[in-house]
Every structure is written in structure tokens, then in C-alpha cells.
Structure 1
Amino acid sequence: MARIGTMMSLQAEECLIQFLIYNKEVFAWSMMDLHGISPDVITHCLKVNPDAKSVKQKKRMFGAERSQAIKEEVEKLLKAKYVRPVEYPEWLANVVLVPNGAYVLTSQT
């Protein structure tokens, strides 16, 4: 999210807003808009000590509404090829649902 400073003149603020509106196609509004970007640029790697012991969190249970929100968000991430399934992971981090009107999915790392 871009914030416009309070010290900016109204003319400069209007100019900036018009510029952003005119160039809105250069912004990624969803994960689906990120196609064609090199994975080297957008891949996140966890730098962990290879000798460290893996720790699994106890699997948390969610109610029906939250489970549905998680399922929908994971389906969007899979469809956008933002995540991929991994079988038998060595560690598990529970998801965290953040109330934001509906729910927003994040990880607990």
C-alpha cells in the first residue's frame, strides 16, 4: 500500500494519484499477475542450520468457517502456482488466520 505524506502539496498529491492510476497495469494486483517473473527474483529460501533438529508443531484444528477460508486461499495459491504440494514435509508450521473482513491466511514462522 502506498501512503501519501501529509507534507505533500495537494497539487503534487493529485499528480501522483493520476500517475499511479495511469500506470496501474505495471502493478501486480494478485498472485496471478506475477507470471513471467524469474523464480530467482521471487523465491524465498529459509536459511536454516542443516544440523538443526526439525520441529513439528502440533496440528491445529479449525472450525468449519475457518477451514473453508483456508481451503479457498490454498486453492488460489495452488492455481497461481505460488505454492506446490510437498509430501511428508520434515517440519510443519500451522497457518494463522488474520481477521480482515474475511480471513487472511499467513504462516506462523
Structure 2
Amino acid sequence: MPVLFGSPPCQVWKVVKFHVISASSSFNAILGRTTITALKAITSISHLKMKFPTNFGIGEMMGDQTTARQCYLTTVSPRKKGEEDLEVNQVLEIDPRNSIESTNQNSCFPAEETEEIEVVISNPSKITKDMPGIPEVVARHSLHINKNVVPIRQKRRIFSDEKRTAIEQEIDRLLEAKFIEPVQFPTWISNVILVKKHNGKWRMCVDYSDVNKACPKDFYPLPNID
């Protein structure tokens, strides 16, 4: 549904996709990363405030700390006499990942069973669960790169024999672990950076400064190494 964010004149309309669930919560609605990214907003949890750009200036939404504190105390307060027994000061934790089987058919998550995948083949006890019913685009993180920015290809740096050997060993290790893969036509090229560890070995990092400049509003920027 269309939602109006902000107050006049700094307002903006956004179409938000809501999932309606039956659960006990002190919140009427929770905004996800998709909506916050569409707003290009910056949030401050401690101040209960969110700011975002509009055509008429910087809009903002601010929560009431007193009301939020009262809602929290109401949520964690013990039940009255005659009601079901509940541990004192028990916090209601709502995790959709743990409520797939307990929720009804109106849940926003698919009813398919999860699939167990072995993370380490030699150790069957180390497994993870996959939810095949959820589209990959929902769980996949992508960089919101400005389309007007021209991709930058850094010039190749010259390393000493010691550093070049360390880089080759690290790349071979990452390729063997299938953590990285070669690309034939890359659009962005960044040099690697070696940082000396306390034990004398080298730690290989990547210079993402150019990519971060192209997506300054990304909420999970890649780490820069100066």
C-alpha cells in the first residue's frame, strides 16, 4: 500500500509491501531494510529517529521515547492473577525463522519444510537449513551502486616477491574453498592490500574505497583499509 513518510512539506510517498502475521508484539508495524533503502534513510535507534531526503529538504520521523518505554514495560510485565502462568519479566521474542511450523496458513512464509545442508562434509553434525520456498532475491544482499557512476578499474600495483607469494597463496586458498571465482569481464577492479599481522604473516584485504563512494547510502558498506 502507498505510505506517506514525513511531515509537510518534507514528505515522500513510497509503496510498501506488508506481510500481515498473527503474533504478539508491541509494534504495529516494522519497516524492513527494503523500505529503509528505498527511502535512502538513516536511522538512529537510541534517538528513535529516522531521516531521509525529499524534494523539499530532509524529512524525518521521530518516535516517542516515553510511549516506547511504556510499551516495552507492558510487554515484559507479569500477567495478572487468574491468567496463565508466565515468568516474571519474560521478554516476548518473535522470530519468524522459528515460527514456521507454529504459524498458520496466513503466515507470510511458505509452508514448505526446511532442507538440511551439510556445511562440512567430514562432520555431519555441522549443518545449516535452507528454505527453498523463499525467493533468493529476498535474502540476497546487493550493493545499491549509483547508475550514473562510471566503474573504476584501478591500475595494477607492483608488489615485492614476498607479498606476491602471500597473495598467490591466499587466492589459491580462496579458490579451493570456492569462496571466490574468476570473472572474465569485470566492471570494477580493485587492488589487494597486505597488512602485517603480529605473528609476521600477511593478511590480504581489498581496497573498496571506490565502490563505497559509488554507493554512499548503502547500510552495509564494504570495509576500507587505509
The TM-score, its normalising length taken from structure 1, stands at 0.58
Does the residue aligned with 2:143 lie in a helix, a strand or coil? coil
In the TM superposition, residue 51 of structure 1 has moved relative to its aligned partner by: 2.9
Matched positions, count: 77
Match of 2:144 in 1: 47
Identity score, percent: 30
Does the residue aligned with 2:186 lie in a helix, a strand or coil? coil
Q: RMSD of the TM alignment (CA)?
A: 3.1
Q: Which runs of 5+ in 1 are unaligned?
A: 1-31
Larger strand fraction of residues: 2
In the TM superposition, residue 87 of structure 1 has moved relative to its aligned partner by: 1.2
Change (3 A) 1:47 1:72: same
Larger helix fraction of residues: 1
Residues 1:65 and 2:162 aligned together: yes
User: Aligned equivalents of 1:104 and 1:37: distance in 2?
Assistant: 31
**Structure possessing the higher radius of gyration over alpha carbons:** 2
Match of 2:177 in 1: 80
Using CA pairs under 8 Å that are at least 6 residues apart, name the structure with larger relative contact order, 1 or 2.
1
What CA deviation, in whole Å up to 9, does each residue of 1:24-77 have, x standing for no partner?
xxxxxxxx7998676x6x965332123311111111011111000000000011
User: Aligned equivalents of 1:35 and 1:108: distance in 2?
Assistant: 33
Q: After TM superposition, where is structure 1 displaced by more than 3 Å over at least 4 residues in a row?
A: 32-38, 42-45
Change (3 A) 1:82 1:44: farther
The TM-score, its normalising length taken from structure 2, stands at 0.30
Does the residue aligned with 1:98 lie in a helix, a strand or coil? strand
Q: Which runs of 5+ in 2 are unaligned?
A: 1-119, 131-135, 209-226
Change (3 A) 1:58 1:44: farther
1:96 to 172, 175, 193: 193
Match of 1:107 in 2: 206
